[in-house]
Amino acid sequence: MEELTKEEICIFIEKSISDRQYNDELLFELPNTTIQRVKEILYFDLTAYKGVISSHSVRHVKHGHPNDVEYICEIMEIIQNFSKVQKSITRDHKTGASLVSLEFYKKYDNKTVKLVKLKIHREKRLELKTLFVKD
Protein backbone atom coordinates (compact mmCIF):
# COMPACT_ATOMS: atom_id res chain seq x y z
CA MET A 1 0.00 0.00 0.00
CA GLU A 2 1.60 3.23 -1.13
CA GLU A 3 1.17 6.67 0.36
CA LEU A 4 -2.02 8.43 -0.63
CA THR A 5 -1.70 11.60 -2.69
CA LYS A 6 -3.58 14.79 -2.02
CA GLU A 7 -5.16 14.47 -5.47
CA GLU A 8 -6.48 10.95 -4.73
CA ILE A 9 -8.04 12.20 -1.49
CA CYS A 10 -9.65 15.21 -3.21
CA ILE A 11 -11.16 12.96 -5.92
CA PHE A 12 -12.58 10.67 -3.22
CA ILE A 13 -14.10 13.70 -1.44
CA GLU A 14 -15.74 14.88 -4.68
CA LYS A 15 -17.29 11.45 -5.28
CA SER A 16 -18.49 11.22 -1.68
CA ILE A 17 -20.17 14.63 -1.82
CA SER A 18 -21.63 14.45 -5.33
CA ASP A 19 -23.12 10.94 -4.92
CA ARG A 20 -24.94 10.32 -1.66
CA GLN A 21 -25.22 6.59 -2.50
CA TYR A 22 -21.43 6.32 -2.81
CA ASN A 23 -20.20 4.29 0.12
CA ASP A 24 -16.51 3.54 0.13
CA GLU A 25 -13.38 4.19 2.15
CA LEU A 26 -9.79 5.13 1.47
CA LEU A 27 -7.14 3.18 3.36
CA PHE A 28 -3.63 4.54 3.73
CA GLU A 29 -0.37 3.84 5.49
CA LEU A 30 0.43 6.13 8.40
CA PRO A 31 3.71 7.96 7.78
CA ASN A 32 6.63 6.73 9.92
CA THR A 33 7.19 10.27 11.21
CA THR A 34 3.61 10.31 12.53
CA ILE A 35 4.02 6.91 14.22
CA GLN A 36 7.29 8.02 15.87
CA ARG A 37 6.03 11.41 17.05
CA VAL A 38 2.77 10.03 18.47
CA LYS A 39 4.75 7.36 20.33
CA GLU A 40 7.13 10.00 21.77
CA ILE A 41 4.36 12.38 22.81
CA LEU A 42 1.50 10.08 23.88
CA TYR A 43 3.33 6.75 24.40
CA PHE A 44 0.76 5.27 22.03
CA ASP A 45 2.00 2.84 19.40
CA LEU A 46 0.36 3.25 15.98
CA THR A 47 2.57 0.63 14.31
CA ALA A 48 0.41 -1.61 12.07
CA TYR A 49 -2.45 0.91 12.11
CA LYS A 50 -4.06 2.00 8.85
CA GLY A 51 -5.56 5.42 8.23
CA VAL A 52 -9.17 5.40 6.99
CA ILE A 53 -11.34 8.05 5.36
CA SER A 54 -14.93 6.92 4.74
CA SER A 55 -17.37 8.59 2.37
CA HIS A 56 -19.78 8.84 5.32
CA SER A 57 -17.23 10.88 7.31
CA VAL A 58 -16.66 13.19 4.33
CA ARG A 59 -20.42 13.87 4.18
CA HIS A 60 -20.47 14.39 7.96
CA VAL A 61 -17.82 17.12 7.65
CA LYS A 62 -19.63 18.64 4.64
CA HIS A 63 -22.91 18.72 6.60
CA GLY A 64 -21.47 20.11 9.84
CA HIS A 65 -18.62 22.28 8.57
CA PRO A 66 -19.16 22.91 4.82
CA ASN A 67 -16.32 25.44 4.53
CA ASP A 68 -13.81 23.01 6.01
CA VAL A 69 -14.24 20.02 3.67
CA GLU A 70 -11.28 21.09 1.50
CA TYR A 71 -8.96 20.44 4.46
CA ILE A 72 -9.67 16.71 4.28
CA CYS A 73 -7.45 16.82 1.17
CA GLU A 74 -4.67 17.91 3.55
CA ILE A 75 -5.05 14.95 5.90
CA MET A 76 -1.59 13.52 5.08
CA GLU A 77 -0.01 16.95 5.67
CA ILE A 78 -1.94 17.41 8.92
CA ILE A 79 -0.99 14.05 10.45
CA GLN A 80 2.60 14.32 9.26
CA ASN A 81 3.29 17.90 10.33
CA PHE A 82 0.95 18.44 13.24
CA SER A 83 1.72 21.15 15.77
CA LYS A 84 -0.05 19.27 18.57
CA VAL A 85 -1.57 15.84 19.15
CA GLN A 86 -3.66 14.67 22.08
CA LYS A 87 -5.75 11.74 23.12
CA SER A 88 -9.38 12.28 24.01
CA ILE A 89 -12.03 9.95 25.34
CA THR A 90 -15.68 10.35 24.44
CA ARG A 91 -18.73 8.23 25.17
CA ASP A 92 -20.57 6.38 22.40
CA HIS A 93 -24.17 7.68 22.45
CA LYS A 94 -25.63 4.31 21.45
CA THR A 95 -23.57 1.81 23.42
CA GLY A 96 -22.23 3.95 26.28
CA ALA A 97 -18.75 2.57 25.59
CA SER A 98 -15.69 4.78 25.91
CA LEU A 99 -14.16 5.75 22.56
CA VAL A 100 -10.52 6.76 22.33
CA SER A 101 -9.66 9.34 19.70
CA LEU A 102 -6.53 11.14 18.60
CA GLU A 103 -6.81 14.81 17.78
CA PHE A 104 -4.23 16.28 15.41
CA TYR A 105 -3.89 20.07 15.35
CA LYS A 106 -2.11 21.98 12.63
CA LYS A 107 -1.59 25.71 12.33
CA TYR A 108 -2.02 27.31 8.92
CA ASP A 109 -0.97 30.77 7.71
CA ASN A 110 -4.20 32.47 8.69
CA LYS A 111 -3.50 31.55 12.34
CA THR A 112 -6.45 29.15 12.34
CA VAL A 113 -5.92 25.71 13.79
CA LYS A 114 -7.33 22.74 11.94
CA LEU A 115 -8.29 19.66 13.86
CA VAL A 116 -8.60 16.12 12.63
CA LYS A 117 -10.20 13.80 15.09
CA LEU A 118 -9.52 10.17 14.44
CA LYS A 119 -11.15 7.39 16.38
CA ILE A 120 -9.04 4.38 17.25
CA HIS A 121 -10.56 1.00 16.46
CA ARG A 122 -9.63 -2.38 17.88
CA GLU A 123 -8.99 -3.48 14.29
CA LYS A 124 -6.01 -1.07 14.22
CA ARG A 125 -7.82 1.54 12.14
CA LEU A 126 -7.33 5.25 12.69
CA GLU A 127 -10.53 6.58 11.14
CA LEU A 128 -11.46 10.16 10.29
CA LYS A 129 -14.38 11.20 12.45
CA THR A 130 -14.52 14.92 11.83
CA LEU A 131 -12.40 17.90 10.92
CA PHE A 132 -13.03 21.61 11.43
CA VAL A 133 -11.53 25.04 11.76
CA LYS A 134 -10.94 25.91 15.37
CA ASP A 135 -10.69 29.64 16.07
Does pTM surpass 0.85?
A: yes
Q: pLDDT per position in the chain (135 positions), as tens?
A: 667 899 999 999 999 999 999 999 999 999 999 999 999 999 999 999 999 999 999 999 999 989 899 999 999 999 999 999 999 988 878 898 888 899 999 888 775 677 788 888 888 999 998 898 876
Domain boundaries, the chain: 6-134
**Among 88, 107, 106, which residue's Cα sits nearest to residue 98?**
88
How far is Cα 124 from Cα 46, in angstroms, rounded to an integer?
Answer: 8
- The burial class, CB within 10 Å (0-12 / 13-18 / 19+), for 31 is middle
How far is Cα 24 from Cα 14, in angstroms, rounded to an integer?
Answer: 12
